[in-house]
């Protein structure tokens, strides 16, 4: 049952993210054609600022998720009801805080830009971005119920409908009116409508939740949540300053135009990373359920997840390295392509950070955030200082190199330690041995694909891109297949896939 739920959730999450990636690409092209580069750069900057305000969520969702996984694993309706009631009330306060704090930052927006673009109503545009972010929290508490109950595929379906409607309205509004403010009003309305639909559906599917809507948490539950929230808060602060702060530094040190070019590349990379995150997040509830009932078996399953993480990260990193600029050339034009050195650093950062996905599953399922909360803060300081210093000297590449240094620093040590030593009670050296072996195999596959790409020759840009894409994808997978012939986790994974196919 757990395996089936994991497969369904993972498949639906990956399909949803791939579909959303396509919609985002289309939407970005429409905004470029209708409004120009500066609006895209401005939107990227505001998104970076609002990610900082999202820290107000304090990791509450992650902390509650940990407790909800347990509630559904032991089939406790009362515990699930109390947690949902608390969560719903807390998110109303969070939405209000984000709105008030976001409005308070408005007078300082111009200080975060190297030069202020000649765009009318910049403050109003920013305020509408704030409203959109705050609105995303309203009525959203019920989402975690579906995730904890291993029904995440319903969320995937809802998100697909929401984004499809948003794209249709985007085409109608921007192509006919070129009014960015009207477009932002539309986004807010669509977000509220989606959350209202999910709230209605959860109330209907889990009617017992309403019975406990006025219930309060027990003292031990509240204390456990407070401890986890404090821990996850530090982690979220660290994650923000380790990754999301980059776009603000690019805006301040390089300008809004550079921010637009950088955000184009990052849109593709973050979409692929989001696709991977969705896939691994989809199995977290099942893994937490496994840890509750069969803790010893969880380490063996984790090694299989780690292997899958390596394989998917390698395929995505190699494809991004060779295909990012060819895609931007087709999508937006040559003037929006990213420098080759920048692509190399972006893909290196992508690989290092995406390899954390497997460790983050037992980290969240086992409630381990409390053990490395200060490590996240140390990592944040390292990234802010190194990215600022290197950015002032080397520009965009310097900012990204600062992120590279950060990715290989504190959490690269603490997260595996906590997972291996505290949770699984095994030697931490096992993690780093596998990490090095996996990275070597990824590099070999990348060199192999690079040699094959010499044969992707065509005068037609689209045909050459398609040929290159096929070589990158199939070449990487074939190479990894032979490089991992003796891997025990690979044999387990392939036997499981074969078993599932035979049953069908």
CA-angle at 278, arms to 377 and 26, nearest 5°: 105
Q: What is the pLDDT of residues 429-471, one digit of tens each?
A: 888 999 999 999 999 999 999 999 988 888 888 999 999 999 9
Q: For 111-130, how does the pLDDT look when each residue is reduced to its tens digit (9 = 90+)?
A: 877 777 778 888 888 899 88
Q: Taking the CA atoms of the chain, what radius of gyration do you get in angstroms?
A: 23
Side-chain-side CA neighbours of residue 119 (13 Å): 23
Q: Determine which of 151-165, 220-234, 378-392, 422-436 has the lowest per-residue pLDDT on average.
A: 220-234
Instruction: Judge contact between 437 and 303, C-beta under 8 A.
Output: no
80 and 68 Cβ atoms separated by less than 8 Å: yes
Count the Cβ atoms, other than its own, within 10 Å of residue 121. 11
Over residues 171-210, the pLDDT tens digits come to 888 888 888 899 889 988 888 888 888 888 888 888 887 7
Whether 367 has a pLDDT exceeding 90, the answer reads no
Answer whether residue 475 shows pLDDT above 70: yes
CB-based contact 361:307 (threshold 8 Å): no
Q: pLDDT, tens digit, for every residue of 307-320?
A: 999 999 999 999 99
Distance CA 334, CA 444 (A): 30
Q: DSSP per residue over 152-190, as a string?
A: HHHHHHHHHHHHHHHHHHHHHHHHHT--HHHHHHHHHHH
Residue 484 Cα distances to 161, 182, 308, 488, angstroms: 39, 53, 12, 9
Angle subtended by helix axes 37-53 and 122-135, to nearest 10: 50
């Amino acid at each position: 049952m757990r395996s089936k739920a994991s497969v369904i959730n993972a498949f639906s999450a990956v399909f949803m993210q791939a579909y959303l990636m396509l919609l985002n690409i289309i939407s970005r092209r429409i905004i470029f054609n209708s409004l120009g580069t500066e609006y895209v750069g401005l939107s990227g900057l505001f998104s970076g600022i609002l990610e900082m305000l999202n820290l107000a969520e304090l990791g509450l969702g992650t902390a509650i998720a940990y407790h909800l996984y347990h509630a559904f694993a032991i089939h406790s309706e009362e515990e699930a009801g109390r947690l949902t009631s608390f969560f719903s009330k807390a998110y109303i306060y969070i939405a209000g805080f984000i709105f008030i704090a976001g409005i308070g930052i408005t007078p300082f927006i111009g200080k975060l830009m190297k030069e202020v673009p000649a765009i009318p109503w910049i403050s109003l545009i920013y305020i509408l971005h704030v409203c959109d972010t705050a609105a995303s929290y309203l009525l959203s508490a019920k989402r975690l119920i579906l995730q904890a109950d291993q029904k995440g595929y319903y969320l995937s379906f809802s998100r697909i409908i929401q984004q499809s409607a948003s794209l249709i309205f985007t085409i109608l509004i921007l192509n006919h009116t070129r009014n960015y403010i009207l477009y932002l009003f539309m986004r807010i309305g669509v977000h509220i409508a989606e959350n209202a639909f999910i709230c209605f559906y959860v109330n209907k599917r889990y009617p017992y939740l309403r019975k406990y809507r006025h219930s309060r948490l027990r003292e031990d539950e509240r204390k456990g949540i407070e401890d986890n929230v404090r821990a996850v808060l530090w982690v979220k602060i660290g994650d923000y300053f380790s990754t999301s702060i980059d776009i603000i530094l690019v805006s301040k040190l390089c300008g809004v135009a550079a921010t637009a070019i950088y955000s184009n590349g990052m849109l593709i990379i973050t979409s692929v990373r989001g696709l991977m995150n969705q896939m691994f997040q989809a199995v977290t509830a099942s893994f937490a359920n496994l840890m509750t009932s069969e803790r010893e078996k969880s380490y063996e399953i984790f090694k299989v997840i780690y292997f899958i993480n390596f394989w998917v990260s390698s395929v995505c990193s190699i494809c991004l390295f060779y295909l990012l600029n060819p895609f931007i050339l087709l999508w937006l034009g040559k003037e929006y392509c990213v420098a080759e050195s920048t692509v190399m650093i972006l893909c290196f950062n992508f690989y290092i950070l995406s390899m954390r996905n497997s460790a983050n599953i037992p980290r969240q399922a086992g409630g381990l955030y409390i053990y490395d909360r200060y490590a996240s803060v140390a990592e944040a300081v390292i990234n802010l200082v190194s990215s600022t210093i290197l950015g002032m000297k080397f520009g965009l590449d310097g900012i990204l190199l600062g992120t590279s240094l950060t990715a290989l620093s504190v959490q690269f040590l603490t997260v595996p330690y906590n997972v291996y030593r505290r949770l699984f009670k095994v030697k931490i050296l096992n993690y780093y041995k596998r990490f090095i072996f996996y990275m070597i195999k990824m590099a070999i596959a990348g060199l192999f694909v690079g040699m094959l790409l010499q044969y992707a020759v065509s005068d037609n840009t689209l045909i050459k891109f398609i040929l290159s894409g096929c070589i990158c994808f199939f070449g990487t997978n074939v190479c990894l297949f032979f490089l991992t012939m003796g891997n025990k986790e690979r044999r387990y994974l392939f036997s499981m896939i074969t078993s599932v196919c035979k049953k069908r």
